[in-house]
A and B are shown apart, each in its own frame.
Chain A
Amino acid sequence: MDQFILQILNGLDKGSAYALIALGLTLIFGTLGVVNFAHGALFMLGSFCAVTLSKFLSLSHKVVDETRTDFLGNPLQVDVPYVHDWFGVATGDAIIDWAVPLSLLFATPVMIGIGFIMERGLIKHFYKRPHADQILVTFGLAIVIQEVVKYYYGANPIPTPAPSAFKGSYDFGLLLGFDANAIIYPYWRLVYFFFSLVIIGAVFAFLRFTTFGMVVRAGMADRETVGLLGIDIDKRFTIMFGIAAAVAGLAGVMYVPINPPNYHMGMDFLVLSFVVVVVGGMGSLPGAVAAGFLLGILESFASTAWAVSNLPGINQVIIYLVAIIILLTRPRGLMGRKGVMEE
C-alpha cells in the first residue's frame, strides 16, 4: 500500500509538467488550429528565465574585507552580491535564495511577450497552410530557439537550487500511519504539484468565469459566427497564445530545481506532451490535464521494480504504448469532442 501511494506521488510532478505543457498545446490547437512543435522550446525558455534571473541576482562585485586576510597576509577580497548593497545582507540573501519563485514574476511578461511575437510574426501566416507545414515551420523555430539558448548558455545543464526552505523531504508515511521513511517526498515536488494545480485552475477559471474567456470559448466552438458578431476574435486568440506560452514558461521556471535545464530539454518534453495531448483529445482542455496526470502516474508505476522485472522495458515505452492503443481505438482521445480531428 505504501508503495502504491509512493508511485502515485512520484507520478504527480512529472504529470504536472506534462499537464501544463499539454494544456498550452491544446489551448493553441483549440483556438488557432495550429500544431505547435515549438511549445517544448517555450517550456525550455521559461526554465532559462529562471536561470537568468538567478544569475542576475547573484551578480557581485569585489570588496576588500579588512578584518580578514588571505594566506599571504593581504586583506581578503570577498564577492559581495549587489543585492546585499541594495537591500542589506539578510534581505539580499533571502532574495538570492528565492530566485526561482521570483522568476515567476520575471518570466510571465517575458513569456507572454515571446508568445505575442511568435504568433504575430510567424504563426499567423500559417493558419491556412496544411498541418504538415505548421509542424515543419514550428519544428524549425524550435531548432532556432534551442541553438540560440545553446549559444548563450552552453550545452551543459545548469543546476539552480530551490529556496532552502523547501530542501529536504516530507514524510507522508507518518501522516497516513505508515512507518517512518516509508513514503517520503521532496518538498519542492509537492510545491510543483500545487503550483500546477493553481495554474490549471486559473486558466480554467479565466475561460469559464470571465467575459473574455466566454468569447474565446465561443470562438473555439465557432470562429466564423463570433467574427460575424463584430468581435475581433483574432486579437483574443493572440492573447490566448500569449497565455499558453506563459503557462509553458511558468511550468519551465518551477521545473528548474527538479531537473537542471539544458537546451534540449524542450524537445524531450515536447514529444511526450504531444502524446499526452493526443491521448487526452486534441483541443480538449480537461482531457489534456487528465491525460497528463494519468500518463505521469502510469509512467511511475511502470518504473517499479515489479513492473520492470515482469515486462522488461515497459517503463520506457508505456506512454507510447498507451498513445498507440488510444489512437487506434478512440482517435479523438479520452475526452475529445466528436468530429474534431478524428481522421
Chain B
Amino acid sequence: MLGLEKKDFRLLLIVIGLTLFAPIILNPFPAGSEMAQFNAGYPDLMQRFVIFGIFAIGFNILFGLTGYLSFGHAAFLGVGSYSAVWMFKLLSMNVLPAIVLSVIIAGLFSFVIGYISLRRSGIYFSILTLAFAQMSFALAYSVLTPITGGETGLQLALDDPRILGAAQTASGNIPVPALFGLEMRASYEMTVGAWAFTFNVGYYLAALILVLSFYMAIRIFRSPFGLMLRAIKSNQTRMSYTGLNSRPYTLAAFVISGMYAGLAGGLMASMDPLAGAERMQWTASGEVVLMTILGGAGTLIGPVLGAGMIKYFENIFSKINSQVLHEWFGFLPDGLENFVVTIIYPFVGKGWHLTLGIVFMLVVIFLPGGLVQGGQKIAAALKRKKTDDANPGASKPAE
C-alpha cells in the first residue's frame, strides 16, 4: 500500500491511529479526579508532542541514517519559527504560506551550514554545527534584533501590514493564526460521562503533517538513497574507495533534516505566533538529541516515542511536588512515608531533568538502540520462552 511494505504500512497505520485518537488515549483519567493531573490530552501539550515528533524524525534522518551527530539542529527550528512569524506579520495569518516559507528558509539555511560543516566528520562535525548554532543564537539575541526581536522575541503587533489579511480584527485585536478561516486554537469539547476530551484544530493540522512526515521518512529509509546513507554510516572510507563521493548524499540528508526542523519551527509558530532566540540555544539542540537517542536512533518510530516521552515527563512529571508524594505514600507509617518521599523527591518536580539525565545515560550505556531496541529485546525474550528455543539467537536488527 502506498508503496510501502506490509510491515511499514502497519507502522504507519499505528501512527495514524495514535495521532487520531490521541485526545482520547492521553486522557485516561476522569476530569476532576485525583489522577487528572496525569492527563496529557490538552491541546498545548499534544501539539508539542507532534511538533517535537516531527523535529526528531528529521533529526533521525541525519543522525540515525548517516551517523553524523549534529549539535546545532535547534538553529533550523528557530529560523523556521522566525520566518513563519514574519509571514504572519507581512502577508496574512494563514498558516499555509507561513509553514511553506519556514521550510524553504530552513532548507536554504541548512544548505549553507551543511555545505561547510560536512567537510568534516566525527567530532569535528558536531563542534562545527554547535559553533554555527551558537553563532546564530548569539546573533539573534543581539545584532539581528530588528529581525528577531532580540530578548523579547518576535511578536505580532497591531500595526503589522498583513497585505492579504486584516491587520486587526473588527474588535481591534491581533488576529489569530488560521488555516483558511479555521482558527488554530479552535477546539471542540466532548464530555463522555466523567471524561472530558478536547479536539483541537491546531493539533490535528500538526498531526496530519506528522503523519505525512512519517510517511516521507519511511520512504526515505527504504529508498536506495536511504541505503546509501546507511552505507556511509557503516563505513564511509570504503564508500569513498569504491569511487563514490559521499558528500552530496550527506548534504542532502542534512538539508532534509534541516527542512523537517524548519517545518517543526513553522508549526510551533503557527500554534503560538511568537518566536524567541532561546529556541536556538544549544541546550535545545541537545534536547532533540536526547529524544532521538532515547527512542532509538536509526529506527522509524523511536524518535517519535522519545519526543513524546520527554515532553510528557517535562510537563507531567514536573508537576509532582512533595505534597502529591505525601498523598501517594500516605498509607505508609509516618517515618517510612517521610523517608520514601525524601528519596523520591529529588527526582520529580523541578528535578525531573535529573531523572532524564539518568535515564539517558542508562540508555546510552545499556541500550544503544534506545527504547525500541529494549522493546525488541523483551519481545524476543518472550517469544523465545514461548517457542521453547526453537530458533535461538535470531535477534532482529534495529530498523
Residue in contact with B357 in the complex, picked from A131, A140, A324, A343, CB distance below 8 Å: A140
Contact present for B124 and A278 (CB under 8 Å): yes
Contact present for B119 and A328 (CB under 8 Å): yes
Report Cα–Cα, A275/B286, bound state, in Å: 17
A341: interface (CB < 8 Å): yes
For B134-147 the 0/1 string (1 means CB < 8 A from A) is 11001101111000
By DSSP majority rule, is chain B's interface helix, strand, loop, or mixed? helix
Report Cα–Cα, A65/B194, bound state, in Å: 65
Residue of A nearest to B236 (CB): A343
Report Cα–Cα, A140/B290, bound state, in Å: 9
B364: interface (CB < 8 Å): yes
Q: Which of B128, B132, B141 has the most CB of A within 10 A?
A: B128
Report Cα–Cα, A116/B139, bound state, in Å: 40
For B110-152 the 0/1 string (1 means CB < 8 A from A) is 0000001001111110111011101100110111100000000
Contact present for A125 and B143 (CB under 8 Å): no
Task: Determine the chain B residues whose CB is within 8 A of the CB of A328 once the complex forms.
Answer: 116, 119-120
Report Cα–Cα, A313/B356, bound state, in Å: 35
Report Cα–Cα, A275/B138, bound state, in Å: 15
Report Cα–Cα, A317/B339, bound state, in Å: 49
Residue in contact with B138 in the complex, picked from A122, A136, A313, CB distance below 8 Å: A313
CB within 8 Å for A135 and B353 given contacts A313-B138, A317-B138: no
Task: Determine the chain B residues whose CB is within 8 A of the CB of A274 once the complex forms.
Answer: 127, 130
By DSSP majority rule, is chain A's interface helix, strand, loop, or mixed? helix
Residue of B nearest to A131 (CB): B123
Contact present for A131 and B122 (CB under 8 Å): yes
A124 CB to closest chain B CB (Å) equals 12
Q: Which of B353, B356, B361 has the most CB of A within 10 A?
A: B361
Interface residues of A (CB under 8 A from B): 35, 122, 125, 130-133, 135-137, 139-144, 146-148, 150-151, 267, 271, 274-275, 278, 282, 312-313, 316-317, 320-321, 323-324, 327-328, 331, 341, 343
Sample of 6 more A-B contacts, CB < 8 Å, known A144-B357, A316-B139: A141-B357, A146-B353, A271-B130, A320-B132, A324-B128, A327-B124
Can you list 29 residue pairs at the A/B interface with Cβ under 8 Å?
Answer: A132-B67, A132-B69, A135-B123, A136-B69, A136-B289, A136-B364, A140-B358, A140-B361, A141-B357, A142-B357, A143-B353, A144-B361, A147-B353, A147-B357, A148-B354, A150-B351, A151-B354, A267-B283, A271-B282, A274-B130, A278-B124, A313-B142, A316-B139, A317-B135, A320-B134, A323-B131, A324-B128, A343-B121, A343-B124
